[in-house]
């Protein structure tokens, strides 16, 4: 399939396909977990190629277990730090 025939979908469809919250998908885009080669960005709008995203996530053994750190000292305005936990399928 040529690139012009590939279907790109909004973030809501990708989140639903992966059974993730939209905010998780946005975080993964910002953190580079979802590679730039798998989506198009036009202005503030993102469109994702679901098969490419899934393939890259499998290649990188990414699991949907982003865990926020709780050592923020109780400051509700402190930025949340996320940690990626990678598991080997050995």
Q: What is the mean pLDDT of residues 23-42?
A: 94
CATH class of domain segment(s) 3-64: mainly alpha
62, 86 contact by CB (below 8 A): yes
**55-74 tens-digit pLDDT:** 999 888 655 455 444 454 55
Q: What is the mean pLDDT of residues 42-48?
A: 95
pLDDT for 4 beyond 90 = no
Q: How many CB atoms lie within 10 A of CB 85?
A: 9
Q: Where are the domains of the chain?
A: 3-64
**72-85 tens-digit pLDDT:** 455 555 554 555 55
pLDDT for 41 beyond 70 = yes
Q: What are phi and psi of 57, to 5 degrees?
A: -65, -40
How far is Cα 74 from Cα 46, in angstroms, rounded to an integer?
33
């Amino acid at each position: 399939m040529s690139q012009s025939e590939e279907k790109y979908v909004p973030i809501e469809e990708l989140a639903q396909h992966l059974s993730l919250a939209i905010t998780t998908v946005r975080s993964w885009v910002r953190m580079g977990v979802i590679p730039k080669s798998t989506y198009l960005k036009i202005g503030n709008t993102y469109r994702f190629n679901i098969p490419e995203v899934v393939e890259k996530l499998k290649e990188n053994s990414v699991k949907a277990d982003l865990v926020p750190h709780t050592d923020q000292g109780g400051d509700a305005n402190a930025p949340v730090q996320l940690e990626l936990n990678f598991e080997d399928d050995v």
